Chain A
Amino acid sequence: MARVELQSVTKSFGQITAVKKADVVFEEGSFTTLLGPSGCGKTTILRMIAGLEAPSAGDILIGGRRINDLPIHKRNLGLVFQNYALFPHKTIGQNIAFGLKYRGVPKAEARDKVRQALEIVRLPGVEDRYPTQLSGGQQQRIALARAIVIEPDVLLLDEPLSALDANLREEMRVELKSIQHRIGVTSIFVTHDQSEALAMSDRIVVMSAGEVQQEGAPEEVYNTPATEFVARFLGAANLFDARVTAADDRLVELETAAFGRLTLPRDRAARLGDAGPARLVVRAEKLALSEAAAPPGTVSAAATVAAVDYQGQLARYFLQIGDSQAQAIQMIDGRPYPEGAEVTVSLRPEDCTALPPASPDGESGPTGR
């Protein structure tokens, strides 16, 4: 177990800069997720920590030791791949024992360790089978067993669940997290699936185009996104144009076209100045729809339901609020509002976040899902 530290790590492939000056700390024993869209450099970071790629600049520290020049096989890391990468010509037992051989573990002891590892991943007694004789989910458990049996300093997982089907993926996600918790190994998990990241992580590092956008606990990243990109990438978010009209240390007052004036606590608008344009971020599930007047303590606007996406206990509404469009997700009791219904949308200012508008050169990023 060890703490991993990236110190302004940059990686270029010819013209492409895959990772730009990343400064990240992965705390000892924590489960940290690198989250971001395809091609944002997550795998590249993982491969640099593993020693499969060399950084173009910057340092990587594991347990306080600079390991830039340490070859892979001396780093003592557990690696789990998307496609499992179990050695097809070796039995499950031989696969798991592979790393023990190079650690001078005697045969009998290795057998015990293999058995223990198989118990941890809840697949006892499959030592003599070949990888092709197991299902995808089972193979992924074996890959995990092979990585943890060597008691690695760090466990690196590159989209380990993405090749599994949806049900199995959710089951494995709980299990993976509980195994990690039990053995307490520092884990770095790569995914582009935001719900996976929110469900499993102690900390999330959101990346876009090679740059770290935000780092924090899941609720922190979800509730107080630091950039428009983060707001859009995690969950469904609405962004409204706004303007700061008054501000002090405790409160920030904003003027919006749709909702008029509203006042946010300072920590919800930490990155805003005392004047100028801003963006108001409202999560889709924080927009409340009703036919009655808005409850006290909220700001509201009249809206028209443009479309409804019915999802059982939930409904997603596409709304027209004046000139702007918005999405709202609501629990349904009874029947959903029909298309064309006139409703009142309301929101509590303390549920919103305000950001400075995105700079024109970047951060436009992919839109939320």
Chain B
Amino acid sequence: MSSMNQIEEEIISDFELFDSWEEKYHYIIELGQKLAPLDEKYKIDEYKIKGCQSSVWLNGEERNGKIYFSADSDSTFVKGEIALLMMVLSGQTPESILDAKLEFIDALGLRQHIAVTRANGLSAMIKQMKTYALAISSASK
């Protein structure tokens, strides 16, 4: 597994190919449509992220010291955003997830297109992923 920085760099250079909001939108929708489905048993309130304008369900599981996320949303675009986050964070160690600065999000030039509530949604997702990392790393100590 490549390092988080490497993955972030790759995503940034992918986005550099797009020169319009339309192209970025289509790319993110495509990511959302390809996101592996979340097991229905996780689509309950316990896994729901509050603070998102649309519903998001997120689960994180530990395997061999790494955390793997799966998620779903009623919005395909939001699923695409989760997919981006998962590319970087899924399969990493709890420590590196906790340390992640995720500076690539700003580099993608997405924030300007995402209404305040949307940006909050993204922050809520990141916070939830870090909460999983924290819970798993403290459980293993």
Same assembly = no
Q: What is B's interface to A at a CB cutoff of 8 Å?
A: none
Q: What is A's interface to B at a CB cutoff of 8 Å?
A: none
